[in-house]
């Protein structure tokens, strides 16, 4: 899609914020293989095991929320989207109770926030489809900017333009950018 996008969905952790999660430590503590989606595991695990893993996740999310910093260019990207008048929002697998204080602390004003609290999460396309609905844009006219494999999988499955934020190779996507400043330039072209 060129010059046909009408709205933008942004991932949060690792896209708008510098990752503050110690993923390897959390995975080791949970005793889960790295390829396992923690949220999917929680949904399917027996109650006692789910409680154990959820407690570990909560502890790490609280620590990450306290240590999160805005990614370089995050404030400028949000300001750019506001100036353009483009509908945008955040879609994150994080919990609302952790994201709201982080947004306030790092000084980002986001009106539309879709979290895992809706009961589905990336890579399930229903998560990003809920984001598109929340910003009032058809999925085929949405761009999703994220740093993770699950972001790209959800965007592609939902029929959105998938933009991967990465300095190097990564998952299948429509576009790859190395910085949020580069992302703003690309979004400017895609939004027409």
Q: For residue 39, give every residue at least 6 positions away whose Cβ sits within 8 Å of its Cβ, in sequence order, or none.
A: 93, 116, 121
Domain with CATH 3.40.50.1000 in the chain: 7-19+69-190
pLDDT in tens, 81-101: 999 999 999 999 999 999 999
Q: How far apart are CA 160 and CA 173, in angstroms?
A: 10
Task: Give 21-64 pLDDT, tens digit per residue.
Answer: 777 888 889 998 877 888 888 889 999 999 999 899 889 888 88
- Domain spanning 7-19+69-190, CATH class: alpha beta
Q: What are the beta bridge partners of residue 175?
A: 163
- Looking up tokens 């154990």, which residue turns up? 52
pTM across the whole model:
0.88
């Amino acid at each position: 899609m060129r010059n046909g996008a009408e709205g933008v969905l942004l991932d949060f952790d690792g896209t708008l914020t510098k990752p503050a999660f110690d993923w390897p430590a959390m995975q080791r503590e949970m005793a889960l293989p790295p390829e396992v989606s923690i949220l999917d595991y929680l949904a399917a695990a027996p109650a006692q095991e789910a409680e154990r893993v959820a407690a570990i996740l909560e502890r790490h999310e609280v620590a990450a929320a306290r240590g999160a910093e805005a990614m370089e260019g995050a404030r400028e990207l949000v300001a750019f989207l506001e100036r353009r008048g483009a509908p945008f929002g955040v879609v994150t697998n994080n919990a609302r109770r952790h994201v709201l204080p982080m947004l306030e602390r790092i000084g980002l004003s986001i009106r539309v926030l879709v979290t895992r609290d809706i009961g589905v999460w990336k890579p399930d396309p229903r998560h990003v489809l809920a984001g598109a609905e929340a910003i009032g844009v058809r999925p085929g006219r949405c761009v999703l900017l994220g740093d993770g494999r699950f972001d790209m999988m959800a965007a592609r499955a939902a029929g959105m333009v998938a933009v991967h934020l990465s300095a190097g190779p990564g998952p299948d996507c429509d576009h790859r950018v190395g910085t949020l400043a580069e992302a703003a330039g690309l979004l400017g072209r895609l939004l027409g």
